[in-house]
């Protein structure tokens, strides 16, 4: 899951107020097991996941949550509302980092919580906004709404670009593995086809040679920018293990790419020249 959630649990009061049980969400029997081991308030699903781009069955996760009397919440940041609609798959609430694809231009920090009409969560959330002041500034709302106007065409281009980049990366000898559900060889491909209307703009790949090789590729890129965040017009890359620090579970050689709106061949050329220079 998104590393920031782990930091919220480990480094703020949230961790002391609730008990957290990490579960491999690809394994529905593991989710069953976790919710039957202890009374469960909430089941959190993130799909596709960060940074291993694993696809989780939202319908199954929500059904298990509800059987256990828990709320089902889905972080839909990577898929966006265009590619995946978790409320229709049973979620009680959907969260988005609007900082990413919704804003779309790397110039906004905001978040969105979506609940179905008439949900009891709505009044609770509005109460928090009114009394605790967690509301977005008017200009940030304006930027988010401006981003939404181009979200459909941006997502089409992100998906098309990411597929081309993923396919090209599978052919490079310095690449051990490409993680992208749009590839028919990907373990999440069939589920993504059912659950999503596109495979998204995020992919990861594992460079042969571990952390040093991956870092070397990062430093040799000229077009793709090394930076955290994602979902903007410009392609970004990062070495997740370094960004996340010692507690990271990301493979050492993994680089995560947010495929931007540049010409896909320019992105591929940049990755190829960087990969070829490390041999
Ligand atoms: C970036 C991200 C977040 C956090 O969003 P911020 O707007 O940076 O707080 C949450 N979930 C996922 C999946 C993300 O990629």
Q: Tens digit of pLDDT for each residue in 40-72?
A: 999 999 999 999 999 999 999 999 999 999 999
Range of the domain at 186: 151-276
- The answer to whether the beta carbons of residues 198 and 154 sit under 8 Å apart is no
Residues 259 and 196 in one domain: yes
The Cα 65–Cα 158 span in angstroms is: 32
The answer to whether residue 146 sits within a structural domain is: no
Total of domains in the chain: 2
Residue 145 lies in a domain: no
Q: Parallel, antiparallel, or unpaired for β 175-179 and 111-114?
A: unpaired
Q: Please name the residue that has the structure tokens 């931007």.
A: 260
- Tell me: do 84 and 54 sit in the same domain: yes
Give pLDDT, residue 279.
66
3-state helix, strand, coil in the chain (%, to 5): 45, 15, 40
Query: Would you say the CB of residue 75 lies under 6 angstroms from ligand 1?
Result: yes
Low-confidence ranges of the chain (pLDDT < 70): 279
| End position of a domain, from candidates 99, 116, 138 | 138
Q: Do 133 and 9 reside in the same domain of the chain?
A: yes
**Does residue 118 lie within any of the structural domains?**
yes
Any ligand 1 atom below 6 A from CB of 97: yes
Residue nearest to atom 5 of ligand 1 (CA): 97
**230 Cα to the center of ligand 1, angstroms:** 9
- Cβ–ligand 1 distance for 76 under 6 Å, the answer no
Phi and psi dihedrals of 239, rounded to 5? -95, 100
In a domain, 143, yes or no: no
Query: Which domain-ending residue is among 74, 108, 138?
Result: 138
Query: Looking at residue 161, which CATH number applies to its domain?
Result: 3.90.1150.10
pLDDT of residue 248: 83
Q: Which residues contact 51 (CB under 8 A, 6 or more apart)?
A: 204, 240, 250, 254, 256
- Number of the ligand 1 atom closest to the C-alpha atom of 77: 13
Do 56 and 49 touch, CB atoms closer than 8 A?
yes
Same domain, 163 and 258: yes
**192 in a structural domain:** yes
Same domain, 85 and 118: yes
Domain boundary residue, one of 106, 138, 170: 138
Q: Are 196 and 76 in contact (CB under 8 A)?
A: no
On whether residue 216 sits in a domain, the answer given is: yes
| Reported pTM | 0.95
Contacts of 122 by beta carbon, 8 Å cutoff, 6+ apart: 115
pLDDT value for 243? 87
Residue 17's CATH number = 3.40.640.10
Q: What is the pLDDT of residue 247?
A: 80
pLDDT of residue 4: 87
144 domain-assigned: no
195 CA to centre of ligand 1 in angstroms: 21
What pLDDT is stored for residue 22 in this prediction?
A: 93
160 and 264 housed in the same domain: yes
Q: Report the pLDDT value the prediction gives residue 155, as an integer from 0 to 100.
A: 98
Q: Let me know if residue 257 belongs to a domain.
A: yes
CA geometry: angle 74, 104, 172, nearest 5 deg:
85
């Amino acid at each position: 899951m998104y590393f920031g959630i782990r930091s919220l649990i480990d480094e703020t009061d949230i961790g002391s107020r609730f008990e957290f049980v990490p579960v491999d969400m690809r394994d529905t029997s593991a989710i069953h097991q976790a919710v039957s081991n202890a009374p469960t308030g909430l089941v959190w699903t993130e799909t596709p996941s960060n940074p291993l781009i694993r696809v989780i069955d939202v319908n199954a996760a929500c059904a298990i949550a509800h059987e256990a009397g828990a709320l089902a919440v889905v972080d839909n940041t990577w898929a966006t509302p265009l590619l995946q609609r978790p409320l229709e798959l049973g979620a009680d609430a959907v969260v988005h980092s609007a900082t990413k694809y919704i804003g779309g231009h790397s110039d906004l920090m905001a978040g969105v919580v979506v609940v179905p009409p008439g949900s009891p969560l709505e009044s609770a959330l509005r109460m928090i906004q009114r009394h605790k002041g967690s509301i977005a500034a008017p200009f940030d709302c304006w930027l988010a709404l401006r981003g939404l106007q181009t979200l459909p065409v941006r997502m089409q281009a992100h998906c098309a670009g990411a597929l081309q980049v993923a396919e090209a990366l599978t052919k490079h000898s310095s690449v051990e593995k490409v993680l992208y559900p749009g590839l028919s060889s990907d373990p999440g491909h069939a589920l993504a086809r059912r659950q999503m209307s596109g495979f998204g703009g995020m992919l990861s790949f594992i460079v042969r040679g571990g952390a040093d090789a991956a870092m070397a590729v990062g430093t040799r890129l000229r077009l793709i920018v090394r930076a955290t965040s994602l979902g903007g017009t410009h392609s970004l890359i990062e070495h997740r293990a370094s960004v996340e620090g010692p507690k990271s579970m990301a493979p050492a050689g993994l680089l995560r790419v947010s495929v931007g709106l540049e010409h896909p061949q320019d992105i591929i050329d940049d990755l190829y020249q960087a990969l070829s220079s490390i041999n």
